[in-house]
Amino acid sequence: MKKLKRSGRLVDMTYYLLQHPHEVISLTHFSERYQSAKSSISEDLVIIKEIFEDEGYGTLLTISGASGGVKFIPRIDYAQAEVFMRELIDQLAVPERILPGGYLYMMDLLGSPRFIQQVGQVFASVLANKRIDAVMTVATKGIPLAYAVAQYLDVPVSIVRRDHLVTEGSMVSINYVSGSSKRIQTMTLARRSLAPNSRVFIVDDFMKAGGTIRGMMDLLDEFQAELVGIGVLVESVGVEERLVDEYMSITRLSEVNVKERKITVEPGNVLDLLKTITLEEEK
């Protein structure tokens, strides 16, 4: 790369940091990349950090020591998350979403990469100071959410399936009880698809009684993996017996009145969690 002035460096460094979230990048890397003194690079990083923090894009952490450098932690701030959630609640409450049986049509939202990215950013912000090795979800609708979170955390995705595919090698299967229908079902994960002892965040689009998520938690045991957190886009309230205790939700669906065509949606607990997050200490 040719020698760059500050203006060019700022553009390139911003691009580079956004492409490499949660990765420690040494000052030497930037210094060699731009043929510039480390002192200039440090000044550049101060400018970038200030804009990122002022605008709520995230922060730059300085990692000291021999393997030190700078690390971009993408984070959406509370104010932005609140705006996003208010808009989402308005969008979810549109009566045209109501399907027979009281289900809600959500594929317009789940099919929008920009929407999905925002949800991923909210979850990743709450998880910013946790060590996470993988994001797990179950096919199909959780998949885009899982990739969005995983992209911001820079970790791989493990996709649990309800069928058994021949093209993934040896699989681990468990039986679980679907919380709402009480039926026994099977879910499988390819043996190679999750490293043993991984620290895992589970994500899904919708949670009612939590049977599917409970199933994924049981699968984690089979992989000697550890649960770090659970996130759902929409939780359905008014469930008699919830199979999952701790989780974060973006929104809470409290009522779908098919007859009066009325949907009642409230904010989930994720905003409160976002308030309590500090980045002072890295685990």
Q: Which stretch binds a second copy (CB under 8 A): 96-104, 178-186, 233-241, 248-256?
A: 96-104
- CB of residue 272 vs a second copy: minimum separation in angstroms? 26
**Smallest separation, CB 129 to a second copy (Å):** 20
Measured CA to CA, the distance from residue 41 to residue 30 in angstroms comes to 7
How far apart (Å, rounded) are the C-alpha atoms in residues 183 and 145?
26
Q: Which residues of 233-266 are buried (b: 16+ CB within 10 A; e: fewer)?
A: bbbbeeeeebbbeebbbbbbbeebeeeeeebebe
Q: Does 178 bind a second copy (CB under 8 A)?
A: no
The site that binds a second copy (CB under 8 A) totals a number of residues, namely: 56
Instruction: Give CA–CA dist 216/225, Å, rounded.
Output: 11
Q: What angle do CA 160, 174, 199 make, to 5 degrees?
A: 55
d(CA 268, CA 56): 21
167 binds a second copy per the rule CB under 8 A: yes
Instruction: Output 105 or 275, the one with its CB closest to a second copy.
Output: 105
Indicate which single residue of 39, 169, 197, 261 sits in contact with a second copy (rule: CB under 8 A).
Answer: 169
**Closest CA relative to residue 126, chosen from 228, 4, 45, 235:** 228
C-beta closer to a second copy: residue 163 or 260: 163
| Minimum gap (Å) between residue 143 Cβ and a second copy | 5
172 binds a second copy (CB under 8 A): no
User: What whole-number distance in Å separates Cα of residue 123 and Cα of residue 192?
Assistant: 26
12, 53, 77, 255: which one binds a second copy (CB under 8 A): 12
| Contacting residues toward a second copy, per CB under 8 A | 1-2, 4, 6-8, 10-12, 14-15, 18, 47-48, 50-52, 54-55, 57, 99-101, 103-105, 107-108, 111-114, 116-117, 139-140, 143-144, 147-148, 150-151, 154-159, 161, 166-169, 190, 192-193
